[in-house]
Amino acid sequence: MEDALKMVISIDQKADEIMKQTQEYLGKREKEIKIKIDAMKAEIMDKTESEAKELYDSIVSEAERDAKDIEEQTAKECGNIESQFIKVKDKLGKKLFSQIFK
């Protein structure tokens, strides 16, 4: 009976030791996982920030190209209007002059 008691105590001690080791292992793994998660979060944030900046730069670049195109088109149209005005101005001036001095 004494041997059986010693065996039960020994098994109990081993079970306690296994539980302790398991808890230590779980604690260690939990810390490792938290570190990995934090690293992944940081990587995702960096990547997201980088992608957002690329998208922003692309949108701004496209808007600048569009603005330049509009500016060039407007300058061309203004030149055409001014050219037409100069042609009409001379005719109107002559017509007005002839009507005033009739």
DSSP secondary structure letters along 1-36 = -HHHHHHHHHHHHHHHHHHHHHHHHHHHHHHHHHHH
pLDDT of residue 102: 66
Question: Is the pTM for the entire model greater than 0.75?
Answer: no
pLDDT tens digits along 58-90: 999 999 999 999 999 999 999 999 998 888 888
pLDDT tens digits along 4-49: 888 889 999 999 999 999 999 999 999 999 999 999 999 999 999 9
Q: Where are the domains of the chain?
A: 1-75
